[in-house]
Structure 1
Amino acid sequence: MSITAPFDNSYARLPRSFYTRQNPVPVRAPQLIAYNESLGALLGLSAATEAERAAVFSGVDLPEGAAPLAQLYAGHQFGSYNPQLGDGRALLLGEVIGSDGRRYDIQLKGSGPTPYSRMGDGRAWLGPVLREYVVSEAMHALGIPTTRALAATLTGEDVIRETVLPGAVLTRVAASHLRVGTFQVFAHRRQIDELRQLTDYAIARHYPQADGPLGLLRAVCAAQAELIAGWMSVGFIHGVMNTDNSAISGETIDYGPCAFIDDYHADTVFSSIDRAGRYAYSNQPHIAVWNMAQLATSLLQQLDDPQAAVAEATQIVHAMPGQTEAAWLRRMGAKIGLTGPTPEDVPLIEGLLTLMQDQGADFTNTFDALARSDARDQFVDRDAFDAWAEGWRARLATEQDPQATMQAASPRVIPRNHRIEEMIQAAVAADYAPFHRLMAALTDPFDTQDTGLMRAPTKDERVAATFCGT
């Protein structure tokens, strides 16, 4: 008996030009590493043995009602347009309606080559699988929209990258896998019927209140503005904000060379492939706007008179920086104890960030200390902090419970880069204790008691670069 799931596969009912139907390529010896019990219950998945879960979430066994397919999309990669990408190592198993009434995709990553693999092997190795499992679940616990991890499974097969590495499959759950690049591929090909069908589908699935293509653009811009502000508030750097990695649902998707800032610097870059800093921490709000401009260009193609709508589309995209700034102010204001921050509070917030950057203060620990203890200890020049804190304390005089506000906005623990690397190295040696330790702490990031995971890295522990690992 296999796992049962309440599948209702709406994307598979779209025309075949949207995807390629294909089953996963079976693996030799699947072994379950982790399974997200609470998420599985939300999705309505039946109880199953560990072996049954390993078989399904490695692609060896297909649950009844699944309709595996690889989705087609295109995308700008570091600013250069690639006319065809698509799921090169992933398959959408199908969709379910969760117990919360929402529709979810269930996708296997590392399930074998597809027609979109571009000479790749279609597989994943253990490191990126566990990285995405940990970071996506951490983001969910932080309250930031994200894809989620349902399962991680060893394949029993080796994957060749720079060296021989253990293969694995991640089972990912998303509101959908529709990307800016999904619209781009049909717009670029001038497949207007498909573009209109995709737009109607996206509106019905994600933004039923949206009025036509420009209504969809307005809704996606608003969702992306909130998302980017969330990233900035926890020091998260996506690393590869290509348009094919920009989900129209407003979820964080595709955790490749992602990382969290330790010592704060606005222009921090970790991704080994981002040599020019295009996707640096401080550039993320600007790149999100650029991505939305590409979505706007694609959506306009389906209109009978695209030029007549250019001005309105431009206005929608140009409004996004203000939306992001407002969301950023709300989140960052809360991190210094303000329940109703105003634009007049921006210098106070930026003053602290400048102080942190000048003195190399740890991003997460500084805000945690501000909420729970003496943040002076985070700075070398404590007099400089005291000077900033004088104005801060004066501003807090009008707040009722600033400490509670700060504690609710400032996590104690994040998936720090050196801990992720430590976890991966241990897992390659079949030691999953660091993985389970991280997961236990990150489930409750605002109130964890694992002080060891709160500690910033030493000089020898710092991670200077992160990698896609595909």
Structure 2
Amino acid sequence: MIRFDNTWVRDLPGSFLRLAPDVAPDPQLLAWNDALAAELGLDPAVKSHAARWFSGAELPPGADPIAMAYAGHQFGGFSPQLGDGRAHLLGEIVDGQGRRWDIQLKGSGRTPFSRGGDGKAAIGPMLREYVISEAMAAMGIPTTRALAVVATGETVWRDADRLPGAVVARVAASHIRVGSFQFFASRGEMDKLRALMNYTIARHYPHLAADDALGLFDAVTRAQARLVARWMGVGFVHGVMNTDNVALSGETIDYGPCAFMEGYAPGTVFSSIDRQGRYAYANQPLILGWNLARLAEALLPFFDSDEARAVDLANARLGDIAGIYEAEYQAVMAAKLGLAAPDAGLVADLLAGLSGVDWTMFFRRLSEEGGQAVQAMAPGLAEWLARWQAMNPDLAAMRKVNPAIIPRNHLVEAALEAATAGEMAPFHALVAEIRRPFDSATGREGFALPAPEGFGDYVTFCGT
């Protein structure tokens, strides 16, 4: 019922350890993604096996579970060996359009990469990954997605709290990370690094020739610049942009301490561990460049056989990243403002007057009613609004890119708290609404409004 392939195992020896996930003692299916299952071409009968197959209780036929090895810079500090400390890649499937997808369990038990962790996950963080990734997918932003969340029947301890355990089955175009390249580069294993490079080219950028390291770097740069620009457009704060969380496919990966900004504030941080604001909302484009520089370092030996020439080629490309990102960002903002062409000055003046204004609500109201609708929200923007209206913005086009519904932080928190207590209805209701982000909020205003007064500063956690 699932036809697994295992190219990672066959083609990239030395990049993983074979081991099975822990056996969940009492698996119960909490959430099943029917739409994603259909897109993957899975037999509908798979759902009846989901609780056991996607919890570790039983391996699906053809699975060859592994824990992947990788390195990474975490908050700027390099760790030469990280790896899947609580995840097991079951294998890959190929959908009806010939696209290859990883299916990975997360929260499925300790591995040799766990570094003292228990390898488990609680229900809340696994359901967060489901709801936030579904919201991103519904908005058309490249992302991994959750196929299933299964309660394991185990207890997980976090900060003296006793929580019900869970596993998420994550679907990704691949789990190839910048940190995957850093792993081999830091060890000087050039043959394995070359094999990984060519595997990545074949899997994600097949228009490139084998060994085209420069072409691969350029393609990843464009994909990541486009991705981060789209994050910025919807106010998404990833929270943990370490190099091991940068996917070469151009997908958003690892929904840990993430959340959506409500009132516009460039320094917005949600993650409890980002005490210096390294991954704040406005810093995400800067970290994009920093992370790509680490990829360039890993690929440097393949840029040119002459080291000095390779460094020159790398520096030239690194110097171009800011411009590539800016072009992507201005295109995103032009679409949000219904303009036929980008206008960086208009965007800069808008941001200067938006402090504290609800990001999502401002753009949605602007798209629905024009300038008059937002006068009260941002009284200092009267002159800007007149300039914008004189440009004949396309309001209908704006409504196709400016969501009315995002996963509001207070609703996400309420849904996760209820699920932890055994009540799934709020979670399912929230998922149903975030899957229609661009529809009118009429009749579902409760999902469109900001957090009520007294909700306070929102803090998110990795869940490890």
State the TM bucket, normalised to the shorter chain.
over 0.9
Alignment match of 1:142 (pick from 139, 163, 166): 139
Instruction: Please tell me whether the aligned partners of residues 361 and 378 of structure 1 are also in contact (alpha carbons under 8 angstroms).
Output: no
Equivalent residue, structure 2, for 1:407: 399
Instruction: Give the C-alpha shift of residue 311 in structure 1.
Output: 1.2
* One-letter amino acid matched to 2:453: K
* 2:408 matches 1:416: yes
Tell me how far apart the structure 1 counterparts of residues 217 and 208 of structure 2 sit (CA, whole Å). Answer: 9
Instruction: Please tell me whether the aligned partners of residues 107 and 168 of structure 2 are also in contact (alpha carbons under 8 angstroms).
Output: yes
Q: Aligned to 1:395, what secondary structure does the other structure show?
A: coil
Instruction: Give the C-alpha shift of residue 448 in structure 1.
Output: 4.8
Tell me how far apart the structure 2 counterparts of residues 63 and 330 of structure 1 sit (CA, whole Å). Answer: 44
* One-letter amino acid matched to 1:363: W
Equivalent residue, structure 1, for 2:337: 336
* 2:448 matches 1:454: yes
Tell me how far apart the structure 2 counterparts of residues 262 and 312 of structure 1 sit (CA, whole Å). Answer: 40
* 2:418 matches 1:426: yes
Instruction: Please tell me whether the aligned partners of residues 2 and 46 of structure 2 are also in contact (alpha carbons under 8 angstroms).
Output: no
Instruction: Please tell me whether the aligned partners of residues 357 and 377 of structure 2 are also in contact (alpha carbons under 8 angstroms).
Output: no
Tell me how far apart the structure 2 counterparts of residues 226 and 383 of structure 1 sit (CA, whole Å). Answer: 32
Equivalent residue, structure 2, for 1:166: 164
* 2:197 matches 1:199: yes
* One-letter amino acid matched to 2:260: F
Alignment match of 1:58 (pick from 45, 55, 60): 55
* 2:369 matches 1:373: yes
Tell me how far apart the structure 2 counterparts of residues 459 and 327 of structure 1 sit (CA, whole Å). Answer: 35
- 1:99-137 Cα distance to aligned partner (Å, 9 max, x none): 222110000001111110111111110110000000001
Equivalent residue, structure 1, for 2:325: 324
Instruction: Please tell me whether the aligned partners of residues 366 and 375 of structure 1 are also in contact (alpha carbons under 8 angstroms).
Output: no
Q: How many residues align?
A: 458
Unaligned stretches of 5+ in structure 1?
A: none
Instruction: Please tell me whether the aligned partners of residues 358 and 450 of structure 2 are also in contact (alpha carbons under 8 angstroms).
Output: yes
Instruction: Give the C-alpha shift of residue 210 in structure 1.
Output: 2.7
* One-letter amino acid matched to 2:165: G
Equivalent residue, structure 2, for 1:32: 29
Instruction: Give the C-alpha shift of residue 42 in structure 1.
Output: 2.2
Alignment match of 2:128 (pick from 127, 131, 155): 131
Q: Residues 346-357 of structure 1: matches in 2 within 5 Å? A: 346-357=344-355
- 1:409-453 Cα distance to aligned partner (Å, 9 max, x none): 100011111111111111111111111111111111000542101
* 2:287 matches 1:274: no
* 2:7 matches 1:10: yes
* One-letter amino acid matched to 2:447: L
Instruction: Give the C-alpha shift of residue 198 in structure 1.
Output: 0.5
Unaligned stretches of 5+ in structure 2?
A: none
Q: Aligned to 2:89, what secondary structure does the other structure show?
A: strand
Instruction: Give the C-alpha shift of residue 379 in structure 1.
Output: 5.5
Normalising by structure 1, we get a TM-score of: 0.95
Q: Aligned to 1:409, what secondary structure does the other structure show?
A: coil
Tell me how far apart the structure 1 counterparts of residues 397 and 46 of structure 2 sit (CA, whole Å). Answer: 43
Instruction: Please tell me whether the aligned partners of residues 42 and 100 of structure 1 are also in contact (alpha carbons under 8 angstroms).
Output: no
Instruction: Give the C-alpha shift of residue 9 in structure 1.
Output: 1.3
Tell me how far apart the structure 2 counterparts of residues 181 and 115 of structure 1 sit (CA, whole Å). Answer: 17
Moved more, 247-256 or 450-459: 450-459
For residues 164 and 329 of structure 1, do their structure 2 counterparts lie closer, same or farther at Cα, with a shift above 3 Å needed? Answer: same
Tell me how far apart the structure 2 counterparts of residues 306 and 7 of structure 1 sit (CA, whole Å). Answer: 41
Alignment match of 2:384 (pick from 383, 388, 402): 388
Tell me how far apart the structure 1 counterparts of residues 200 and 175 of structure 2 sit (CA, whole Å). Answer: 10
- 1:279-335 Cα distance to aligned partner (Å, 9 max, x none): 011110110110000000001135533332111122222212111111111111111
Tell me how far apart the structure 1 counterparts of residues 263 and 378 of structure 2 sit (CA, whole Å). Answer: 17
Tell me how far apart the structure 2 counterparts of residues 53 and 412 of structure 1 sit (CA, whole Å). Answer: 33
For residues 448 and 159 of structure 1, do their structure 2 counterparts lie closer, same or farther at Cα, with a shift above 3 Å needed? Answer: farther
Instruction: Give the C-alpha shift of residue 30 in structure 1.
Output: 0.1
Instruction: Give the C-alpha shift of residue 23 in structure 1.
Output: 0.9
- 1:122-163 Cα distance to aligned partner (Å, 9 max, x none): 111011000000000110011111001100000011001111
Equivalent residue, structure 2, for 1:220: 220
* One-letter amino acid matched to 2:364: D
